[in-house]
Amino acid sequence: MSDSAGSRPPHGPYSRPARPDRRKGWGTGALVGGMLVAGLVGGGAAAEGAVLLAQPAASSPASGSAAQVSPVVVNDPGSTGAVAEAAAKASPSVVTVSVASGSAQGTGSGVVLDSAGHILTNTHVVTIDGQAATPAIQVRTSGGKVYPATVVGTDPLSDLAVIQVRGAALAPITMGDSSRLNVGDRVVAIGAPLGLDSTVTHGIVSNLDRTISVASAAAPQGGDQQQGQGGQGFQFAPMPGQSQQPQAQGTVSLHVIQTDAPINPGNSGGALVDAKGALVGINAAIATAGSGTAQGGAQSGSIGVGFSIPVDYARRIAQDLISSGHAAHGMLGVSVQPAAPAGNPDSSFTVGAQVTRVASGSAAEKAGIRAGDVITRVGARTVGDPAELSAAVSEQAPGTSTQVTFTRNGQSHTVAAVLGTASS
């Protein structure tokens, strides 16, 4: 979603390039029982059947150290397909992130943003699912060099974080435009699933209007305050070998790109790129057919339903974190509950978010929204339940004027609301 007018410079180290004409090429049973972070691989003990990375050795930022890795190789440039070309272009900009704090440890992925060494990843990666406040972090490049990294800032409400490597010549990724994606477009996921560096998988965009809710131990107390009692309550999966799952403080709701490109634990923070190798999403979570954990802490793998945070949103959060160490989110100022279809309160479907309370002095109160109203749209985003409302509002910057559509006594109304600031 767009920033408020004048709040972001038009150009920057990873500002969006001018939009080219859309290419015509490329675009061409089990019930989901849980939601896993696409997350961290590691822990006090290896899970049965899991392949884990060894801890990389410490090294100075200036020189790094060589390691046994398998970077993407193009043996015959004359015969490559589009997937190979996209992978070859983007892979040097994707790193493996190793995090340790006491007995807790894990491995995820990250994406190089700029020549200053800023790397975008997930909050749940750098906090080890909320267990680490001051972790030791190392980064391994696709070329096998290892560098120490420090946390620039984390944002639990978007599950995004920025870390930094100093003194290393890293290759920034090319920024794409998630607003121009179509369902059916081919995409490539790059990261370190199960600790396997420089792994490339590909598939298509399978949905562009998906919201997931995840219980997070890293979230602020109460999580999405404006969400009320909505959301499905999925939880981040514990790391392999973890004796127990960290207790969640709240639920965060994320609007995501859904893809069938195989994404597994360890892919978190890695890149989802388009046909040209440009970043369109940050891989964050996967759906599973079961509970997501086994007796010994093992995690379920990909079943073809993965989720990535759109780059248009991730770019704004990264800019906030780099400039101030904190990220800002819009706040409407309402408590809501699921709204059932008219005349069918027992329906399993919902048709919006019904306002139960409006905070005094909030954006909602100033816009004339009242308790009992059913919010059905925020800006261009359809709102079908409280989680979708929370995601649609929080992905916008404070101060943004957005159109809110709601029904009252069977009549539809649209008002302009200037969003306040949510605590993070």
Catalytic residues: 124, 159, 268
Phi-psi region of 197 (alpha: psi -120 to 50; beta: other; left: phi over 0): beta
Q: What residues have CB less than 8 Å from 11, skipping those under 6 apart?
A: none
How far is the C-alpha of 255 from the C-alpha of 395, rounded, in Å? 8
For the chain, give the number of residues: 424
DSSP result, 101-162? ETTEEEEEEEEE-STT-EEEE-HHHHTTTTT-SS-EEEEE-TTS-EEEEEEEEEETTTTEEE
Number of C-alpha atoms within 13 angstroms, CB side, residue 350? 21
Query: Which long-range CB contacts under 8 A does 286-290 form with residues at least 24 apart?
Result: 286/35, 286/36, 286/37, 286/38, 287/32, 287/34, 287/35, 287/36, 288/32, 288/33, 288/34, 288/35, 288/36, 288/237, 289/30, 289/31, 289/32, 289/33, 290/33, 290/34
SS3 164: strand
Backbone angles phi, psi at 190, to 5 degrees: -130, 135
Instruction: List beta partners, residue 96.
Output: 109, 140
**Residue appearing with tokens 């308790």:** 371
